[in-house]
Amino acid sequence: MHRAFVSSMWLVVACLAGAALAQTEFKPNQGPAPPPSNRAPGNAAPGPGRVSTRVAVGEKAPDFELTKIDGTPLRLSSLRGHWVMVWFVENRDSLYTVEPLAVTLEKMGVRTLAVCYDKSQALAQRVRGREIAYIPLADPTGDIVSLYGLLDSHSTRESVRPGFVLVNPVGDVRMALLGHQLPSADASRLVQLAVVGE
């Protein structure tokens, strides 16, 4: 009975890993990632004029700098030497979905960043009074969400598609699931396989 359960669990994990890896294309590293946008907040290019890219497993994660809820900036590349989960939430009300994942990943030594297309004050208000295991990052212009290919500007109002990118300690994309939401337990299991290998 136990062996059948373990076998079926590995089958589910293999299917999820295949789905996560299928969201990207494998490409050889073709040099450094493009520099982050120097555009001042509030001066974002309208929908179709935004920079957008395909995030590929094995390439450097596009670097960015966003504001934490305390007003201080955080650059992705400053976390080199650590595994980092960059979780893109659809809106500030979706932040609650990050907590269970972040708690589990913290035990594995993985830092979790929650990127939200909103202002830092709005994010601070949403998490006020709570102890959180992740770092909420405000992307008020949507430039970073767009850079990672998750800004849907084809609808009447721009919206964010959910997704995540797992970045290894040298800054390479190890795993990406873009445009789909995965339950926290499944995402943490995939990360565990990538980080620990078990």
User: What CATH number does the domain containing 58 carry?
Assistant: 3.40.30.10
Partners of residue 136 on adjacent β-strands: 114
Query: CA 130 to CA 146: how far, in whole Å?
Result: 29
Helices 184-195 and 2-22: angle between axes, nearest 10 degrees: 90
Q: What is the DSSP letter of 92?
A: G
- Calculate the alpha carbon distances from 79 to 4, 42, 70, 83, 94 in Å: 40, 26, 18, 8, 24
Query: CA 101 to CA 92: how far, in whole Å?
Result: 16
Instruction: Name 2's Cβ contacts closer than 8 Å, sequence gap at least 6.
Output: none
pLDDT in tens, the chain (198 residues): 545 444 444 444 444 444 444 444 444 444 444 444 443 333 344 444 445 567 889 999 999 999 999 999 999 999 999 999 999 998 899 898 899 999 999 999 999 999 999 999 999 999 999 999 999 999 999 899 989 988 876 665 678 888 999 999 999 999 998 888 888 889 889 999 999 875
Query: What's the token pair of residue 182?
Result: 């995965």
Q: Which residue has the tokens 């994660």?
A: 61
Domain residues for 8?
Answer: 2-195
* CA 153 to chain CA centroid, nearest Å: 19
pLDDT of residue 9: 47
Q: What is the DSSP letter of 182?
A: -
Partners of residue 164 on adjacent β-strands: 87, 177
Three-state secondary-structure class, residue 166 = strand
> What's the burial of 176, exposed, middle or buried (CB within 10 Å: 0-12/13-18/19+)?
buried
Query: What's the token pair of residue 22?
Result: 């299928």
How many CB atoms are located within 10 Å of the residue 150 CB? 24
Q: Total domain count for the chain? A: 1
